Amino acid sequence: MALKVLTVDDSKTIRMIVKKAFQNYNVEITEAENGVEGLAAAAKIKPGLIILDITMPVMTGTEMLERLKGDADLKNIPVIMLTAESGQDNVLNIVKQGVKDYMVKPFKGEDLIERVRKIMPLEAKAEEADDKKPGRFFTQVEDVVVLTLPAKVLRPVAVEVEGSLQAKIKEMAAAPLKKMVLDMGGVSETNVSLIKLIITVFQDCQKANIAVKLVANAKQGEELKGFQETSQITAVHSIEEARAAM
Amino acid sequence: MIGIQEVDLKGFVTKAVQGVFKTMLSVPLELEDPPNIESVTTGKHIVGTVGFAGAVMGNVSIFVSREFAREMTAAMLGMTVDDIGSDEEVHDVIGEVCNMVGGDLKSRLCDAGFSCSLSIPSVTFGENFRTESKGWDRHERYGVRNSHHSALMEVYIKAANQ
């Protein structure tokens, strides 16, 4: 069963950093923006861990912690406090309140995970679903590997594709396979992440002596000509056309 | 206890801001002396501010161009500038950076005997504006920069018994 973690912080930025820190673990994250929302969420979901900011509007983390400790159902939930203040008095106050640990901002996600691991075991995520598996973008048509991009290529997708591309290129070298088609025909929007990804694919394939052809529709082909980095790439309109040209 | 004039405000603030940028944004900053005030007060820019009150009162602000603020947001949230959904995300990041810098300054002031509390950060944005405040014991500005952008820190502070 997933560990329920409640992150209580008025800053969406910090909540996102906490969420990202736990992304590789079997953890269900619930977010709250202040102590009042945090208490309500804690009572409802009974989390296994609370990551609690101190300075928040409506109800501070300190007040929320006092109320947690006064509630028989919630008082044993381990709490890690987050604070921007490293002063001696502040740290002493936090320790006195009976929290399991505290972290002074700025901090890195991996530092948070390290603190959590000192309190409780964290289970890595189970085998990923098909749509999350590395290599899910790649198929093979005879001796050609086809890299099919999803409809939306934002930065996280681009990073994922780049990561699995390296592994695929190694596989291709071992096979050996020397041809790749990059199919962006299903991409709905041309953006900088997409352009950077196309360049990376071409450069990495070139380094590995893999021939690569780009498949794009007519509109996309025109858009690519508008970017200096991709203006020299000639796109074809189908995988068959790409294979025939290799 | 030392007096408010002896507090090493420049050291406290610049080390705090360099620490925050390095840890949260992986952006190393170097001191820029004199600070490049023009670059962060002309054009579109964003100012994050936190106040502190107690044995000392004052506030610390960080000024950055909108472009730098967006790059900071992308670095902090692990995305590209193009992927930023709205200005709300940018403002939240600037507020949080300011909160961390203010929190560090507040801690050092408390450790030096100037007990005080910190406010929630506020964020102001606009074009071609400068701010000025009067009646403080100390008013100082410090500049930092990376390879492309400058940032300005401004501190106003006074002892509460005056």
User: Are A219 and A138 members of one domain?
Assistant: yes
Asked if residues B132 and B2 have their Cβ atoms less than 8 Å apart, the reply is no
User: Are A175 and A233 members of one domain?
Assistant: yes
Question: Above pLDDT 70, what percent of chain A?
Answer: 96
CATH code: domain of residue A190: 3.30.750.24
CATH code: domain of residue A113: 3.40.50.2300
Does A129 have pLDDT greater than 70? no
CATH code: domain of residue B10: 3.40.1550.10
User: Are A238 and A163 members of one domain?
Assistant: yes
User: Are A235 and A154 members of one domain?
Assistant: yes
Q: Is residue A125 domain-resident? A: no
Q: Is residue A124 domain-resident? A: no
Q: Would the pTM of this model clear 0.80, i.e. be above it?
A: no
User: Are A206 and A144 members of one domain?
Assistant: yes
> First vs last Cα of chain B: how many Å apart?
17
A178 touches chain B (CB under 8 A): no
Q: Label the pairing between strands B116-118 and B30-32.
A: unpaired
Question: Above pLDDT 90, what percent of chain A?
Answer: 43
Which residue, A94, A119, A144, sits at the end of a domain? A119
Q: How many domains does chain B have?
A: 1
User: Are A221 and A142 members of one domain?
Assistant: yes
Q: Write out pLDDT tens, residues A10-22.
A: 999 999 999 989 9
Does A155 have pLDDT greater than 90? no
Indicate yes or no: CB of B110 within 8 angstroms of CB of A90.
Answer: yes
Q: Write out pLDDT tens, residues B47-94.
A: 999 999 999 999 999 999 999 999 999 988 888 888 888 899 999 999
Indicate yes or no: CB of A88 within 8 angstroms of CB of B111.
Answer: yes
What number is the ipTM of this complex?
0.84
Which residue, A85, A119, A153, sits at the end of a domain? A119
Q: What is the mean pLDDT of residues B2-9?
A: 87
Range of the domain at A147: 130-245
Nearest to B23 among A13, A108, A193 (CB): A108
Q: For residue A154, which residues of chain B lie inside 8 Å, CB to CB? A: 79-80, 82-83
Nearest to B92 among A13, A87, A193 (CB): A13
Indicate yes or no: CB of A89 within 8 angstroms of CB of B115.
Answer: yes
Token digits of residue B103: 């929190």
> Best interface-test mutation with B: which of A7, A18, A55, A56 has the largest number of B CBs within 10 A?
A55
Range of the domain at B90: 4-159
Structure confidence at residue B101 (pLDDT): 94
**Residue by residue, what is the 3-state secondary structure of chain B?**
CCCHHHCCHHHHHHHHHHHHHHHHHCCCCEEECCCCHHHHHCCEEEEEEEEEEECEEEEEEEEEEHHHHHHHHHHHHCCCHHHCCCHHHHHHHHHHHHHHHHHHHHHHHHHCCCCEEECCCEEEEEECCCCCCCCCCEEEEEEEECCCCEEEEEEEEEECCC
Structure confidence at residue A131 (pLDDT): 58
Indicate yes or no: CB of B80 within 8 angstroms of CB of A56.
Answer: no
Q: Write out pLDDT tens, residues A65-74.
A: 999 999 999 9
User: Are A169 and A80 members of one domain?
Assistant: no
Which residue, A99, A119, A139, sits at the end of a domain? A119
Q: Is residue A236 domain-resident? A: yes
User: Are A182 and A76 members of one domain?
Assistant: no
**Beta carbons within 10 angstroms of residue A59's beta carbon:** 17
Cα atoms found within 13 Å of the Cα of residue B87, Cβ hemisphere only: 9
Does A35 have pLDDT greater than 60? yes
User: Are A102 and A65 members of one domain?
Assistant: yes
User: Are A103 and A158 members of one domain?
Assistant: no
Structure confidence at residue A94 (pLDDT): 80
Structure confidence at residue B4 (pLDDT): 85
B86 touches chain A (CB under 8 A): no
Q: How many domains does chain A have?
A: 2
CA A37, CA B31: separation in Å to the nearest integer? Answer: 41
> CB neighbours of A214 closer than 8 A, spacing ≥ 6?
A181, A182, A184, A198, A202, A224, A233, A234, A235, A236, A242
Q: Is residue A153 domain-resident? A: yes
User: Are A23 and A54 members of one domain?
Assistant: yes
Structure confidence at residue B68 (pLDDT): 94
When the pLDDT of each residue in chain A is averaged and rounded to a whole number, the result is 88
CA max distance for chain A: 73
3-state helix, strand, coil in chain A (%, to 5): 45, 20, 35
* Residue A125 binned pLDDT confidence (cut-offs 50, 70, 90): confident
User: Are A55 and A35 members of one domain?
Assistant: yes
CA B38, CA B48: separation in Å to the nearest integer? Answer: 17
Does A133 have pLDDT greater than 80? no
Residue with tokens 């030392």: B2
When the pLDDT of each residue in chain B is averaged and rounded to a whole number, the result is 90
Which of A37-51, A57-71, A86-100 is predicted with the least confidence, judged by mean pLDDT?
Answer: A86-100
> Best interface-test mutation with B: which of A7, A11, A12, A13 has the largest number of B CBs within 10 A?
A13
Indicate yes or no: CB of B102 within 8 angstroms of CB of A155.
Answer: no
